[in-house]
Amino acid sequence: MAEKIKVIITGALGKMGVEAVKAVHEDNELSLVGVVDVKGKGENFSEIVNNKEINLNLENDLDRIIAKTKPDVMVDFTNPQAVFNNVKTALSNKITCVVGTTGLNEVELNQLEKLAIEQEVGVAVIPNFAIGAVLMMKFAKDAAKYFSDVEVIELHHDQKMDAPSGTAIKTAQMITENREQRPPRNTKEFEKVAGARGGDVNQVRIHSVRLPGFIAHQEVIFGGVGQSLTIRHDSYDRVGFMPGVIMAIKHMIETKGLVYGLENIM
């Protein structure tokens, strides 16, 4: 049998990290060898996830766990302040990286790409691991060839700080790559309430809803003469991101350099 891919997870105590720990543990081709979180104090992770099989002590020092476990892959779900240094450390040790943390800027991405190439390993930066969301964007891009009038409604939990979502902006960009120049609207529009018509990204209106009870949802609505087309994706649980995480780990172990976005792996 082929050797299992050895994986460590940084940000393991976080909402995404915990799900990633469980998903990596359950996959037959992967071996979870380390869990890292700045909040870690050596406690056993089996108690945190209530699974005796995940018998690993939580570390707070990435260098130490790399030296101890010699992993093949690091999965990072930390925060924008931590992610760059974590990935730099991992790549410098020839460890493939799968990054779910958002917030890396273009300069940082270029540096990480250069380092990955030098070290002959792969780094995947994936803003959205939900396979359904990636398909939604792809289908929206396809539809834009035939429908030039489109608006996006994105709906998220009320703790989300930024608006519109990164996925909505990316959807608008992908739509504009593929649609004909939109003729100017004849209707003389005015907003009785500021913002009523949403935000404008490349002439795609985006409406952001923030309510408790929601996780992450998006509708792309195309309007044509006598017809409309709605493409919708719903995330109900963070577990829905995990098939994308596992797919990225297995793909990246065979890849060198930077891959940005799950659509380039699927």
Ligand X SMILES: NC(=O)c1ccc[n+]([C@@H]2O[C@H](COP(=O)([O-])OP(=O)(O)OC[C@H]3O[C@@H](n4cnc5c(N)ncnc54)[C@H](O)[C@@H]3O)[C@@H](O)[C@H]2O)c1
Q: Does 217 participate in catalysis according to the annotation?
A: no
Binding segment (CB under 6 A) for ligand X, from list 24-32, 50-58, 79-87, 89-97? 79-87
Task: For the sheet with 216-224, list strands across it.
Answer: 199-201, 204-210, 149-156, 216-224, 227-235
Q: How far is the CB of 31 from ligand X (least distance, A)?
A: 20
Nearer to ligand X, 45 or 147 (CB): 45
Strands 227-235 and 216-224, bridge-based pairing: antiparallel
Q: Does 160 participate in catalysis according to the annotation?
A: yes
Give the residue from 78, 73, 38, 80 showing the smallest Cα distance to 59.
38
Q: Is the peptide bond before 164 cis (omega within 30 degrees of 0)?
A: yes
- In angstroms, the CA 52 to CA 175 distance is 47
* Residue 114 marked as a ligand binder: no
* Residue 167 marked as a ligand binder: yes
Strands 257-260 and 122-125, bridge-based pairing: parallel
Find where tokens 């990246």 sit.
252
Please name the residues in contact with 116: beta carbons below 8 A apart, sequence gap of 6 or more: 91, 97, 122, 123, 256, 257, 258
Q: How far is the CB of 246 from ligand X (least distance, A)?
A: 13
Site membership for ligand X, residue 126 (CB under 6 A): yes
> Taking CB under 6 A as the rule, which mask of x and - marks residues 5-44 in contact with ligand X?
-----xx-xxxxx------------------xxxx-----
* Residue 100 marked as a ligand binder: yes
Site membership for ligand X, residue 101 (CB under 6 A): yes
In the structure encoding, which two tokens stand for residue 136, read together? Answer: 């939604």
Q: Which of 156, 207, 233, 251 is catalytic?
A: 156
- In angstroms, the CA 83 to CA 68 distance is 21
Which residue of 128, 165, 171, 208 would you call a contact of ligand X, by CB under 6 A?
128
Nearer to ligand X, 82 or 229 (CB): 82
Nearer to ligand X, 36 or 143 (CB): 36
* Residue 252 marked as a ligand binder: no
- In angstroms, the CA 120 to CA 50 distance is 38
- In angstroms, the CA 246 to CA 23 distance is 8
Which residue of 44, 79, 105, 230 would you call a contact of ligand X, by CB under 6 A?
79
- In angstroms, the CA 95 to CA 157 distance is 34
Site membership for ligand X, residue 241 (CB under 6 A): yes
Give the residue from 3, 1, 13, 26 showing the smallest Cα distance to 245.
26
Q: How far is the CB of 36 from ligand X (least distance, A)?
A: 5
Q: Which of 4, 138, 160, 250 is catalytic?
A: 160
Tell me phi and psi for residue 11, to 5 degrees. 85, 25
Q: How far is the CB of 10 from ligand X (least distance, A)?
A: 4
What residues act catalytically? 156, 160
Binding region for (S)-2,3,4,5-tetrahydrodipicolinate: 157, 166-167
The residue ranges that bind ligand X (CB under 6 A) are 10-11, 13-17, 36-39, 77-79, 82, 86, 100-102, 126-129, 241
Binding region: 11-16, 37, 41, 100-102, 157, 166-167
